Amino acid sequence: MHRTPTRRSPLPDSRTAAGRRRLVAGCVAVAAVLGLSACGTASGALQPTATASTPGASAPGATTPGATTPGATAQQPTGTAAATIAPTPGSDAAGPGRAAPPAGAEPRTPTAAATPGHAPATGTPVGTTPAGTPAAPPAQPGQATKVIGSTASGGRTVALTFDDGPGPATGQILDLLAQYHVKATFCEIGQNAAANPALVKRVLAEGHRLCDHSVHHPQPFEKLPHDKAVYEISAARDMIVKAGGPGTRVSWFRAPGGGFTADNEHIAAGLGMDSLGWSVDPRDWSRPGVAAIVSTVQSQLKPGGVILMHDGGGDRSQTVAALKQLLPWLVAQGYTFDFPAA
């Protein structure tokens, strides 16, 4: 019997030499599009390997020189893996509607946004005050705003003031003042005025003036609660007025220890009194010695000054002795005597 020869099926295209050449050529073409560096076969499938592309460099296998744009996704044949190359942070990759930079151009460094709580790299550092910043706000409640420290007339005048009386030294001081025809201001403790009304009346009769120095001289006076400050100031004024008799006027308030605040100034102003400070303090209350009291007054005094001394609150013999030297010295220096400003 004659048998017809069996025809063998042609070898798969990938098994023939010609087929392999066509396969390699196709792989190279795909690599040129995708920017791939290697191409191989595994069970007849393409295995693309992605590599980062340097801007301005030609893709391997490409026949036409040119840059592969970072961030662009190449079109691939069906069945191939997508190879997306992400732009390097800080690079100037092209985006939608934005042209890619020329090949070889230097990438622009992105401008860093300021982190909250930190200053930018340029400008005024955090924690400093730029030029032209407004000055600090006015004094807050609780701080003194206006305290008198000069005479009413100014010029070559001086105001003598005596605190903490009336006391045992008040009469001696009044005698010295009368001898030199000097008028002074007495800042009296309320309870002392109530205990020595005759001395309060004498102060007024001889042409001197009165000042409220609180009821009990509490310190620190600036720390007193409002209600306590009201009592210390208003009750002392009432005591002094009662001791002085009808028509007695108390023109100033002096806070013990100089503890003025906006609050106690306001209280005093509501009672018709200005706040009285000083410009010369020989600290005679501490009994530093007669010579020390005299030299301090002489060195600190300027025209229009207010001298702080004491006629009560303890032994004031040094004050009396110093005053005996200071009164003729003041006259010799051409000073005249005045009351504090009001």
Q: Give the pairing type, strands 45-46 and 274-275.
A: unpaired
User: What is the distance between the alpha carbons of residues 228 and 215, in angstroms, rounded to a whole number?
Assistant: 11
For residue 294, give Cα distances in angstroms to 96, 280, 338. 89, 11, 20
Q: Computed over its alpha carbons, how large is the radius of gyration of the chain? A: 50
Neighbours of 297 (CB within 10 A): 25
Catalytic, out of 163, 164, 263, 338: 163
Question: What is the maximal distance between C-alpha atoms in the chain?
Answer: 172
Beta bridge partners of 336: 157
**Is-catalytic flag, 163?**
yes
The single residue of 92, 217, 310, 311 carrying the catalytic annotation is 310
Annotation marks residue 310 as catalytic: yes
What amino acid positions are annotated as catalytic residues?
163, 310
